[in-house]
């Protein structure tokens, strides 16, 4: 298991798979931070630094995809989607082009960069787009495997990556599959469905819960769309109480996706959603923001305790 940010796993994998001549990588002038520079340094003839012009980047990626290229269009999540809604909707999703949109520095975890850089609505944006697959890996290894999987996956994808370093959860024996969740730790009473860095936050909460003699199950939902409905149904019925955890607005993200599965299948269980409560945050460290806006391991601990007796 390797510690590291998911953006680091993305950059390492791009360098690894770059020998494939179909792959092209585009970046919006932040390639050092997004880690796409690793590909650019090794394969400069297939790397395009588009500068602060995300709309042009997305359309160029779509054009390259129509020639048979596998196009990775990379930028900070807040700008990649915030500035390209029309281009993403029409040139990528509607046109069903083979473009992989890769948004890094997502959520409140971006910390001191401030509220205009804290992209907390991107899962809602992309989940609502027909043809779009939405993926958020939980650690370095899963980011590597998810990036590799996108090469052979035909169609539009949004890959959501984080800025901070997280502890390794998986080793090379793990096999990532698009559309499949993974039981990280089996427990009882309550099931936590988490995504991205909140998988690590949930693991920290589970350590705290040992003192309360409560041992929930933790499930990593790394593919937000198409979501692993079968696994969600099985785990919800088995445990009888559900918590969702995401660094995103509670509207439109993982929590709503899980609730949709439960509602569509007539499964009535208590549910608590951990996420940003439909508000803009402030500037601060990840730890400060998670504590103030209800995303910390202590908040997950409290949510589990409140449901454990139900």
First to last CA, the chain: 35
Task: Count CA atoms closer than 13 A to 254's CA, side-chain side.
Answer: 34
Residue-wise burial string across 184-193, b where 16 or more C-beta atoms lie within 10 A, e elsewhere: beebebbbbb
Distance in angstroms (rounded) separating the CA atoms of residues 3 and 24:
27
Long-range contacts of 184-189 (CB under 8 A, 24+ apart): 184/138, 184/218, 184/219, 184/220, 185/217, 185/218, 186/217, 187/215, 187/216, 187/217, 187/218, 188/215, 188/216, 188/217, 188/239, 189/214, 189/215, 189/216, 189/239, 189/240, 189/241, 189/307, 189/308
Among residues 15, 54, 141, 201, the one annotated as catalytic is 54
- 191-194 and 217-220 beta bridge pairing: parallel
Annotated active-site residue 287? The verdict is no
H or E segment and range at residue 127: helix 122-127
> Around Cβ 68, how many Cβ atoms within 10 Å?
9
User: Is the torsion defined by CA of 32, 115, 255, 167 positive or negative?
Assistant: positive
* CB 300, CB 211: distance < 8 Å: no
8 Å CB contact between 146 and 135:
yes
CA triplet 275, 273, 215: central angle to 5 degrees? Answer: 110
**Where in the sequence numbering do the catalytic residues fall?**
54
């Amino acid at each position: 298991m390797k510690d590291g940010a998911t953006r680091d796993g993305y950059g390492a994998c791009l360098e690894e798979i770059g020998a494939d001549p179909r792959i092209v990588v585009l970046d919006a002038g932040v390639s050092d931070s997004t880690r796409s520079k690793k590909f650019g340094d090794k394969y400069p003839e297939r790397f395009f630094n588009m500068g602060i012009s995300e709309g042009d980047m997305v359309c160029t990626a779509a054009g390259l995809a129509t020639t048979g290229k596998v196009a990775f269009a990379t930028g900070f999540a807040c700008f990649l989607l915030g500035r390209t809604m029309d281009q993403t909707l029409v040139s990528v999703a509607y046109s069903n082009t083979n473009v992989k949109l890769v948004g890094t520095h997502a959520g409140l975890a971006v910390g001191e960069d401030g509220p205009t850089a804290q992209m907390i609505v991107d899962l809602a944006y992309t989940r609502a787009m027909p043809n779009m697959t939405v993926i958020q890996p939980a650690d370095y290894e899963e980011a590597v495997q998810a990036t590799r999987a996108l090469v052979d996956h035909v169609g539009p994808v949004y890959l959501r990556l984080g800025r901070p370093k997280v502890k390794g959860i998986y080793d090379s024996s793990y096999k990532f599959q698009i559309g499949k969740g993974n039981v990280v730790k089996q427990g009882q009473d309550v099931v936590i469905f988490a995504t991205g860095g909140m998988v690590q936050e949930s693991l920290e909460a589970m350590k705290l819960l040992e003192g309360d003699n409560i041992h929930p199950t933790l499930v990593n939902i790394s593919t937000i769309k198409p979501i692993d409905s079968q696994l969600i149904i099985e785990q919800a019925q088995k445990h009888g109480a559900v918590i969702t955890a995401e660094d995103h607005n509670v509207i439109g993200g993982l929590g709503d996706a899980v609730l949709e599965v439960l509602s569509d299948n007539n499964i009535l269980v208590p549910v608590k959603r951990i996420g940003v409560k439909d508000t803009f945050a402030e500037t601060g460290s990840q730890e400060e923001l998670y504590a103030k806006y209800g995303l910390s391991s202590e908040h997950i601990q409290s949510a589990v305790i409140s449901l454990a007796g139900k």
